[in-house]
Amino acid sequence: MIHIENVSKYFDKGTSNELLALDNINLEIADGEFVTIIGTNGSGKTTLLNMIAGTIYPDEGRIVLNNTDITKYPDYKRASYVSRVFQNPFSGTAPDMTIAENLMIAYKRGKIKLPIIGLNRQVYSFFQKEIIKLEMQLENRLDTMIGRLSGGQRQAITLLMSVLIKPDILLLDEHTAALDPKTGGQVLKLTKEFIERDKLTTIMITHSMQQALELGTKTIMMYKGRIIDVLHEHEKQTLTTDDLLDKFADLRKKEKLTDEILDELRKEYL
């Protein structure tokens, strides 16, 4: 259960470039919910995700996870609750270390590291069992340097690492955007399987309206640092991508969106 209460964030506050990246966001996500976020560039989706991960701190408001106020926790301290998969498939793994060693880092996520060899036979075979699920024939290549693998393989491993120990909340930041459609689909399929298996509370930013509608229990639309609409599961089933665009078109009247923005949305999501 995560509460985001009245969270605002400015970038370059006090300068001529001041930007209100998040504008009084309120959001509540219950355990087991799978939320997708859509929005244009600069709408604040990644900022919101980073705020939850703890790489940036809000200027106002607070973030409460399972009744603990984690607003002031740095990212490494939140890592015991929160796990992440990045858009860049190279961000989530250490290239000069083996697959097993990378998995070991994830296996110890949020725990104290001691000068003992934790990567013993038992743990190693556990990793082997887990990596079979990726269906990428990596189970016998655990001692390969990650740097030698393809982007799709690395992203799949990052995903596996993020769920190796069940997180309280899983953050996915357009994690299939940088992959080719085939591997992207493969990683997305894995994502669904893992989320369903562990009933993970998930927030996923996506660049595809199709994905946003098909996946998840709730879809959030963001624009200029604000949540402009929340679609619940029952609404989503009846909606098409055109309906979503119409929603943005409706907003145009209300919010005085320009045609260029509408064009931008079309381009980005269709």
Residues 135-154 contacting another protein, CB under 8 A: 145
Residues forming a β-bridge with 69? 64
Query: Of the candidates 17, 116, 237, 238, which one interacts with another protein according to CB under 8 A?
Result: 116
- Tell me if 182 contacts another protein by CB under 8 A: no
In angstroms, the Cα distances linking 14 to 22, 25, 60, 103, 131 are: 16, 21, 15, 43, 49
Window contacting another protein (CB under 8 A); options: 26-34, 38-46, 91-99, 183-191: 91-99
Nearer CB in complex with another protein: 162/219: 162
Query: Of the candidates 29, 35, 63, 104, which one interacts with another protein according to CB under 8 A?
Result: 104
- Tell me if 128 contacts another protein by CB under 8 A: no
Task: Count other C-beta atoms under 10 Å from residue 5's C-beta.
Answer: 17
Nearer CB in complex with another protein: 116/267: 116
- Tell me if 91 contacts another protein by CB under 8 A: yes
Which residues have CB under 8 Å from 91's CB, separation 6+? 158
Residues 14-53 contacting another protein, CB under 8 A: 53
Nearer CB in complex with another protein: 61/110: 110
Between β-strands 60-65 and 68-69, what pairing exists: parallel, antiparallel or unpaired?
A: antiparallel
- DSSP secondary structure string for all residues of 52-97: HHTSS--SEEEEEETTEE-TT--HHHHTTTEEEE-SSTTTTS-TTS
- Tell me if 113 contacts another protein by CB under 8 A: yes
Taking the complex as a whole, the smallest distance from the CB of residue 173 to another protein amounts, in Å, to 11
Asked if residue 7 lies in contact with residue 62, where contact means CB atoms within 8 angstroms, the answer is yes
What does the radius of gyration of the chain's CA atoms come to, in whole angstroms? 19
Q: For 199-232, where are the alpha helices, taking DSSP H only?
A: 209-214
- Tell me if 102 contacts another protein by CB under 8 A: yes
Alpha-carbon distance 211 to 38, whole Å? Answer: 10
Query: Of the candidates 14, 17, 67, 96, which one interacts with another protein according to CB under 8 A?
Result: 96
**Sites of contact with another protein (CB under 8 A):** 53, 55, 74-77, 79-80, 83-84, 86, 91-97, 101-102, 104-106, 108-111, 113-119, 145, 161
